[in-house]
Structure 1
Amino acid sequence: MLDVIVKDDILQASLNEITEILGEERLASITIERAVIGLFFIGVKLSNGYGGVSYTPIKSIPGAVCCPSSASGFPIPGKIQGARVTNYVKDIHSQSAVRKSFAIAVLNALSHACLDAREPQNFVVEKGVDPLDVIDIPGDALVVVIGALVPYLRRFKKNKQPFLVLELDARALKEEEMPFFRHADQAREIIPQADVLITTGTTLINDTIHSLLSYCKREAQIVIVGPTSSMRPTPFFQRDVDVVGGVLVTKPDELLDTLSEGGSGYHFFGKTAEKVIYRPI
């Protein structure tokens, strides 16, 4: 795994902000209308009409789901629909990666509701934009990517951009990408060299994000990207993140249908969810 585990206070800070914006009474009245734990993503639709997604940490499941030890790490089937969101957001502190990711999907849906409930005060929202469209990466800058983010690796190779990929599983990279591979255990050594660090919200699920951010040099540009990171962005900015890229679910039911059929981001981007970025003012 990626270095030291640190408590997920970004998630708690995001939940605190959501509670402040929506209010405890309103938050307590919102329930889960529908949920899907898909092969690639977990998705929820809330009773207020908002949807949220988060990565399915499939590799964290120790055995087949028919095994009681594995099933205990999941939200209880048959008990989710109609349950209050307050019953699930507390799982942002769960030791089960699946339960935690489910809680993050709920958090992301609530964060979308907050955007409509209150005009952002300390950040700007840009829809239909990718983080790499708004950051300036000098041609000689070293980019360190946490995980095999295929579209970004393709772009860096095309532009001959210097980059390294920190990844647990070398099989996630193509043969021609292996010169750029560094095992995730080298994070403490590699990240301080980065002029640009790009990571995903998956690091929120495995509790590594705070240690990874702490390794960055002061002048590094930091980007958090992916559907899992679609929550309130202020806690990221307070930790020197420059751009947060996520998604806003535009058609919750259609999105959940796609996830239930094994769909991935390629199947819902621009169709049932749109890319969005947040930048601090």
Structure 2
Amino acid sequence: MKINATLFELFEKKAKKTTVTHLCMGLGYTVVTTSDGGIGIAYTFFENKTACTVQKSYENPEGAPAIGLVEHILSDSPILRTQALAAINALNYSAAASLAQGPDNADLLAQMGVEKGTHVAMVGAFKPLIKVIREKEAELSLMDAGKGIGDEQDFYEKLGTWADVLILTATTLLNNTTEAVLGHAGPGVRTVLLGPSTPLVKEAFAGLPVDFLAGTVPMDAQGTIQAIRHGTGTPVIQRFGRKVVMAMGEG
């Protein structure tokens, strides 16, 4: 996948010089901290978990160069890509932390041009955004495979011919479907990649039909780690972070 390969190229050199200081794989999210003061998170993507182990082999990554995690962004295993994406977000922490507080949900949707009658396609059921979309009286087509919502063929047809806006969960980076979804988007569809897993790295999405990257930057490291260790999800994790938005066309 192009995005995975680009992320690896962008962070390979730094990952070889930086050490992993902490890795915690919570039930909801995974967190990695690094020796340069970085902290990054990613959704913990379990796939067909049928046993007590989710990794075929084990080497302690803590105290070792971060490249040992980052190289897994090229893996076929979603659980290894989870660790890699969290490590990449940690290595990108200083850049992400320099971004200003982003808009709230209503303002983000307004920035995307969502208003009455707008056709919105959404991959991943973001309940707070769904509420605002309905309040704006926009039309919504939703697909969330994990929750059994939506028909893929019908959704892709709408994405290609009906949708004005695409809201795409960053979790698609972990099951390698981001580029497939983007490939079905019709011309002129305004797209935001959204969620705490989002790598706030413009270069990784260059040439792809993505207009905005919207993520969460942890600001309270200990609070974030504890919340993840306790198995919490996005609403709790965001208490300890700052929501930010990057416009791909800026800078």
The TM-score normalised by the length of structure 1 is 0.80
**Structure 1 CA distance, aligned partners of 2:15 and 2:126?**
34
Correspondence 1:233 to 2:202: yes
Correspondence 1:154 to 2:131: yes
**Structure 1 CA distance, aligned partners of 2:112 and 2:206?**
15
**Structure 2 CA distance, aligned partners of 1:157 and 1:35?**
39
Equivalent of 2:58, from 72, 76, 97? 76
Long gaps (5+) in structure 1? 1-6, 120-124, 172-180
- Specify the code of the residue in structure 2 equivalent to 1:137: V
**Structure 1 CA distance, aligned partners of 2:117 and 2:110?**
18
Number of the residue aligned with 2:173: 204
Q: CA RMSD in A?
A: 2.1
**Cα shift at 1:126:** 3.8
**Cα shift at 1:157:** 1.9
**Cα shift at 1:237:** 4.3
**Structure 2 CA distance, aligned partners of 1:275 and 1:139?**
25
Number of the residue aligned with 1:278: 246
The TM-score normalised by the length of structure 2 is 0.89
Q: Structure with the greater relative contact order (CA < 8 A, sep ≥ 6): 1 or 2?
A: 1
Correspondence 1:47 to 2:16: no
Cα gap change, 1:82 to 1:61, in 2 (>3 Å): farther
**Structure 2 CA distance, aligned partners of 1:242 and 1:64?**
40
**Structure 1 CA distance, aligned partners of 2:210 and 2:63?**
36
Cα gap change, 1:83 to 1:133, in 2 (>3 Å): farther
Correspondence 1:184 to 2:152: yes
Q: Is the 8 A contact 1:126 1:276 kept in 2?
A: yes
**Which 4+ runs in 1 deviate beyond 4 A?**
none
- Specify the code of the residue in structure 2 equivalent to 1:212: V
**Cα shift at 1:275:** 0.6
Cα gap change, 1:93 to 1:266, in 2 (>3 Å): same
Equivalent of 2:142, from 156, 165, 168? 165
Three-state SS of the structure 2 residue aligned to 1:228 is: coil
Aligned length: 245
Which deviates further from its counterpart, 149-158 or 231-240?
A: 231-240
Equivalent of 2:5, from 2, 7, 12? 12
Three-state SS of the structure 2 residue aligned to 1:127 is: coil
**Cα shift at 1:200:** 1.0
Three-state SS of the structure 2 residue aligned to 1:277 is: strand
Cα gap change, 1:27 to 1:93, in 2 (>3 Å): closer
Number of the residue aligned with 1:176: none
Long gaps (5+) in structure 2? none
Counting aligned pairs with the same residue, the percent is 21
**Structure 2 CA distance, aligned partners of 1:205 and 1:216?**
20
Three-state SS of the structure 2 residue aligned to 1:144 is: strand
**Structure 2 CA distance, aligned partners of 1:233 and 1:46?**
22
